[in-house]
Amino acid sequence: MTDVKAPVPLPTLSESAPIKVDIWSDVQCPWCYIGKRKFEKGVELFGEDVEVEYHSFELAPDTPVDFDGSPVDYLSQRKGLPVDQVHEMLARVTEVARSVGLEYNYDAVHQTNTIKAHELMHFAKKHGMQAEMKERLLSAYFVEGKHVGRIDDLADLAQEIGLDRAAAHAALTDARYLSAVKDDVAQAEAYGISGVPFYVIDGKYGVSGAQNPETFQNVLEQAREERQTP
């Protein structure tokens, strides 16, 4: 589904400024990683640079950091879904992920609470490496079976992309960016965002879900054309 409503009035942007795309997503959202690949392809088709900023959205804030079970257990126990149905769902999303070059490994996934991962994203943003951190977290969770809920593990991932491990660890330990995460969540509620991924393009167009690359291309082109129209 593609919405075309302006969430909030924004100041007029220069034609020369890159199109701004605000993305709400969660580290443990399989469609967010798939959507990321499709969006990247859409930007490639668009042919111009865009400015991307990621925002926090928690799909399962009640999940313990060390959930005792698999994603199948979580979805069947917490969501009340039949186990066979869950297996079918995961097989389907794994196949879709493979179609965009991602090899999901649900047998190794650690279901967890992602609040600290979101805090780490804000830490990375502060140091100009938010995009790199997002990719690393998604790959760690869905492909490599790494834990993205514990501070020590997250600090290791931060170090892997070139951030200071001790500084990341300290920021997560004292919850320095927790308020920023909550602000993102509150903004999502204000926009009426109930699921992710959700893309707000140039402050005007909302695109919901892992749409085809051509959809992203078309909305980006429309945003560009509107900037050029007196």
Domain annotation covers residue 84:
no
Question: Do the domain assignments include residue 82?
Answer: no
Q: Is residue 79 part of a domain?
A: no
Give the range of the structural domain holding residue 196, as residue numbers without chain letter: 2-60+114-228
Q: How many of the other CB atoms lie within 10 Å of CB of 172?
A: 23
Q: Tell me the pLDDT tens digit for each residue of 64-122.
A: 999 999 999 999 988 889 999 999 999 999 999 999 999 999 999 999 999 999 999 99
The domain that holds 153 is classified in CATH as 3.40.30.10
Whether 108 is covered by a domain: the verdict is: no
pTM of the model: 0.92
- Cα(19)–Cα(6) distance, rounded to whole angstroms? 15
* 88 located within any domain: no
SS (H, E, C) 104-136: CCCCCCCCCCCHHHHHHHHHHHHCCCHHHHHHH
Beta carbons within 8 Å of 80's beta carbon, 6+ residues apart: none
Query: Does 191 reside within a domain?
Result: yes
The C-alpha atoms of residue 205 and residue 127 are separated, in whole angstroms, by 28
> Using CB atoms within 10 A of its CB, is residue 65 exposed (0-12), middle (13-18) or buried (19+)?
middle
Q: Grade residue 153 by pLDDT with cuts at 50, 70 and 90.
A: very high
* Position 30 in a domain: yes
In a domain, 100, yes or no: no
Beta strands in the chain (DSSP E): 2-3, 19-25, 50-56, 198-201, 205-208
Give the pLDDT confidence of 22-65 residue by residue, as tens digits.
999 999 999 999 999 999 999 999 999 999 999 999 999 999 99
**Are residues 197 and 25 in contact, defined by beta-carbon separation less than 8 angstroms?**
yes
Q: Looking at the 3D structure of the chain, how many domains does it have?
A: 1
